Amino acid sequence: MSDHAQAFLDGLKQRNPNEPEFHQAAEELVHSVWSLMEQIPAYRSQRILERVTEPERVIQFRVVWENDRGEIEVNKGYRIQFNSALGPYKGGLRFHPSVNLSVLKFLGFEQIFKNALTGLPMGGGKGGSDFDPKGRSDREVMRFCHAFMTELHRHIGPDTDVPAGDIGVGGREIGYLYGQYRRLANEWTGTLTGKGFDYGGSRIRPEATGYGAVYYTMEILKHMGRSLQGLTCTVSGSGNVAQYCTEKLIQQGAKVVTLSDSGGFIHDPAGIDTEKLAYVMQLKNVERGRISAYASRFPGSSFHEGQRPWVVPCHWAFPCATQNEIETGDAQQLVTNGVMGVSEGANMPTTLPAVERLRSAGKVVAPAKAANAGGVAVSGLEMSQNSLRLQWTREEVDSRLQGIMANIHQQSLEAAGEGANGVDYIKGANVAGFKRVADTMLAYGIT
Ligand code: NDP
Ligand code: 2IT
């Protein structure tokens, strides 16, 4: 990286101390787009990078609620309204004990460029809480969500900021959050996405992130003259993204041999088929159980406590759990086992040195901003449907999703070109997403 880029990043770290996840996300982007600073002098003179790395607004608040034992609990709540150049702030809410300002700033920052790649009018934002929904009753989750929205509602709206789900926030939580929003705002508008179909949700939104990651990978393979048919795939996580990534991989004739959660991973050498996946969906979404139960249920499979799936040989890896779940040693293991590529269903699942290890070995890395953009893309389509006061069919939404993923692949390819180690999809996605945001910020003048 050039001295100027390094100096910029040193300044960013100094201005934002103790935010390692945000530093990591910023470093990846700056590394990719720095050459644009020389090509387009206005980006430098108008200080676009300085502006785009500073959130427009950070909201932090207290969430007080009562648990089932009648005790008072206090959590932190946040919403990072990072950039609204391209549309209302848009991005998920994460409920997980690891949530802090750094994690949400990295997620909000990445969301800006991801949303830009979709071509839909959405700015970037993210929010959440250090609340841990695990082991909580439905009533506790409801009381927490209502308390969280009691503060958040005054900061959001269909043309201002439109939250959705992320880790720990699925259909149940969106229902409770929207129920309270509706009551406080006295309006029935598309202020949250990921809603149930009966109250304005979109077909395919639950499936969209996982399906989109597979559609994007299919575009890459098509460009390589290959397909998913017969490929062995490892998937991490067992939540929303992992489940629908697995479903689409099965439909495409691939063999999925792993799933995981924070307790460890399961390995099923025979492959996870449709019936086994239905069991996982019931286990995780209804019973809210642990993935280790899979190994007791299906003979021939095994559970590996405290480990990640990357030790299992595969053609393609789909990290769909959380950030930094592929470290250098994992990347080396994947390379040694002959992986062709990694598609990031999760946000920033691969550390910077691990990406370097994969890329220097000529492996494809499909970055989160592009590969998991299908979720927010269908959220954008949910917003359109809410504005129209119409709901499209599954086929309509799915075909639009496929079109958007193909278009993101094309934009990334054009921005990156063919390099010595194949297409640098990370650079392609960063450059294409950044340019749309930067050019719009220039058009607005000094704001
Ligand atoms: P879920 O809450 O549905 O599932 C999360 C899964 O990841 C669970 O299996 C969970 O295991 C596991 N996990 C979470 N934290 C950790 C951790 N620290 N270590 C190991 N495993 C962990 O979330 P989603 O499936 O929605 O999200 C998964 C990833 O995809 C996240 O990175 C999210 O930001 C990203 N994403 C999600 C989108 C969406 O539409 N939902 C859109 C785009 C990206 P456990 O139950 O043990 O915690
Ligand atoms: O990281 C993401 O893109 C999401 N969690 C989905 C955001 C959204 O608004 O649908």
Question: CA 20 to CA 270: how far, in whole Å?
Answer: 40
| Residue type for position 2 | S
Contact indicator for 372, 114 with CB cutoff of 8 Å = yes
- Compute the distance between CA of residue 114 and CA of residue 402 in angstroms, rounded to an integer: 16
Q: Is the CB of 166 under 6 A from ligand 2?
A: yes
d(CA 331, CA 337): 10
pLDDT computed for residue 419 by the predictor:
87
**Ligand 2, atom nearest to 372 Cα:** 3
Considering the candidates 90, 105, 114, 126, report the single residue annotated as catalytic: 126
Residue 193 in contact with ligand 2 by CB distance below 6 A: yes
Which ligand has the shortest distance to the CA of 171? 1
Q: CA 124 to CA 82: how far, in whole Å?
A: 6
The ranges assigned to domains in the chain are: 3-52, 57-189, 208-371
Q: Whose CA is nearest to atom 42 of ligand 1?
A: 375
Candidates 90, 92, 95; CA nearest to 144 is 95
- What is d(CA 83, CA 444) in angstroms, rounded to the nearest whole number? 13
Where does 40-96 have alpha helices with state H? 41-45, 48-52
**Å from CA of 322 to ligand 1 middle:** 5
Fold identical between 57-189 and 208-371?
A: yes
Cα-to-centroid distance, 11 and ligand 2 (Å) = 29
Which candidate, 194, 202, 220, places its Cα nearest to that of 405? 220
Digit-coded pLDDT (tens) for 305-356: 999 999 999 999 999 999 999 999 999 999 999 999 999 999 999 999 999 9
Rounded CA gap, 224 and 177, in Å?
A: 43
Query: Using only C-alpha atoms, what is the Rg of the chain?
Result: 21
> Are the CB atoms for 184 and 149 separated by under 8 Å?
yes
Rounded to whole angstroms, the Cα distance separating 236 from 242 reads 7
90 among known catalytic residues: no
Which residue has a Cα nearest atom 10 of ligand 2?
376
Three-state secondary-structure class, residue 363: coil
* C-beta of residue 169 within 8 angstroms of C-beta of residue 144: no
Cα–Cα distance measured from residue 140 to residue 372, given in angstroms and rounded to the nearest whole number: 30
Structure token digits, residue 154: 């005054």
DSSP classification of residue 393: -
pTM above 0.95, yes or no: yes
The whole-number mean pLDDT for each consecutive block of 10 residues of the chain, a chain of 447 residues, reads 92 98 98 95 97 98 98 98 98 98 98 98 98 97 98 98 98 98 96 98 98 99 98 98 99 98 98 98 97 98 98 98 98 98 98 98 98 98 98 98 98 92 96 98 97
Q: What does the pLDDT read at residue 2?
A: 86
Atom of ligand 2 nearest to the CA of 94: 5
Q: Which atom of ligand 2 is nearest to the CA of 115?
A: 3
Per-residue pLDDT, 418: 86
Q: Residue 272: what pLDDT?
A: 98
Locate the ligand 1 atom nearest the alpha carbon of residue 241 and give its number. 25
Verify whether ligand 2 is closer than 6 Å to residue 376 (CB atom).
Answer: yes
pLDDT of residue 417: 84
The Cα–Cα gap between 303 and 296 comes to 9
What is the Å distance from ligand 2's center to 115 Cα?
9
Which protein residue has the closest C-alpha to ligand 1 atom 15? 322
Q: Are 149 and 181 in contact (CB under 8 A)?
A: yes
Q: Using the mean position of ligand 2's atoms as its centre, give its distance from the Cα of residue 91 in Å.
A: 5
> Residues with Cβ < 8 Å from 266, sequence gap 6 or more?
258, 259, 260, 291, 292, 294, 295, 301, 302, 303, 304
Q: Are 271 and 257 in contact (CB under 8 A)?
A: yes
Contacts of 270 (CB under 8 A, 6+ apart): 300, 301
Give the whole-angstrom CA distance, residue 111 versus residue 83: 9
Q: Which CATH number describes the domain made up of 208-371?
A: 3.40.50.720
CA torsion sign for 109, 113, 116, 118 is negative
Please tell me if the CB atom of residue 83 comes closer than 6 angstroms to any atom of ligand 2: no
Give the separation between CA 124 and CA 79, rounded to whole angstroms: 11
Q: What is the pLDDT of residue 218?
A: 98
For domain 57-189, give the CATH superfamily: Leucine Dehydrogenase, chain A, domain 1 (3.40.50.10860)
